């Protein structure tokens, strides 16, 4: 089976289907969404759109961090939290996972009904965390609606 056709866990369309749809129809929209995140969210340093079913990065933009390695590592974080929620019998879905570092915030915003998350790295001194979360939610909603 081709890597793009491999079934993946998670709600909504399979990860492979979500990736294929976005790759074929929305390359420009993905790039525009990443640019908007990087240029309109205060303190944004780097961003990526990742399929957490496969760990594949659909797009990335920014500097100061190895985004491919971050996408793979954060895929494991999202998958581990989903498994933990299942084990604990917690209903519902993940909205965001926030990782607070000494100088940065890392936000993993899970896209509802898809096996995707938007990854955002923020400079802690320049960021407004509440506004960043709001803008990420708006950007991903617009991306999925297009």
Q: Find the CATH number of the domain harbouring 7.
A: 3.30.450.30
Using alpha carbons, select from 77, 48, 75 the residue that is nearest to residue 64: 48
The pLDDT score that the predictor gives to residue 28 is 79
The pLDDT score that the predictor gives to residue 6 is 32
The pLDDT score that the predictor gives to residue 40 is 96
Q: Is the pTM of this model over 0.75?
A: yes
The pLDDT score that the predictor gives to residue 25 is 58
pLDDT tens digits for the chain (146 residues)?
333 433 334 444 456 666 565 555 577 789 999 999 999 999 999 999 999 998 899 999 999 999 999 999 999 999 999 999 999 999 999 999 999 999 999 999 999 889 999 999 999 999 999 999 999 999 999 888 87
Domain count, the chain: 1
**DSSP structure class, residue 124:** T
In 10 A of CB 80, how many CB atoms? 11
Please provide the size of the chain in residues: 146
Helices (H) and strands (E) in the chain, counts: 4, 5
* 67 touches 46 (CB < 8 A): yes
The pLDDT score that the predictor gives to residue 66 is 95
Domain residues for 84? 3-145
Q: With H, G, I as helix, E, B as strand and everything else as coil, classify residue 58.
A: strand
- Separation between Cα atoms, residue 54 and residue 76, nearest integer Å: 10
Using alpha carbons, select from 63, 115, 72 the residue that is nearest to residue 94: 115
The pLDDT score that the predictor gives to residue 14 is 53
Report the half-sphere exposure of 66 (CA within 13 A, side-chain side).
Answer: 4
The pLDDT score that the predictor gives to residue 24 is 58
């Amino acid at each position: 089976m081709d890597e793009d056709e491999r079934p993946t866990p998670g709600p909504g369309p399979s990860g492979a289907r979500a990736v294929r749809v976005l790759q074929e129809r929305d390359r420009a929209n993905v790039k525009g969404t990443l640019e908007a995140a990087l240029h309109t969210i205060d303190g944004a340093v780097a961003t990526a759109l990742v399929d957490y079913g496969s760990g594949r990065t659909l797009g990335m933009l920014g500097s100061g961090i190895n985004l491919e390695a971050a996408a793979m590592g954060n895929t494991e974080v999202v998958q581990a939290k989903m498994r933990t929620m299942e084990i604990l019998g917690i209903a519902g879905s993940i909205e965001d996972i926030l990782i607070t570092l000494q100088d940065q915030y890392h936000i993993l915003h899970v896209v509802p009904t898809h096996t995707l998350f938007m990854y955002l790295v923020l400079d802690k001194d320049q960021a407004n965390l509440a506004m960043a979360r709001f803008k990420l939610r708006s950007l991903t909603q617009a991306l999925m609606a297009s």
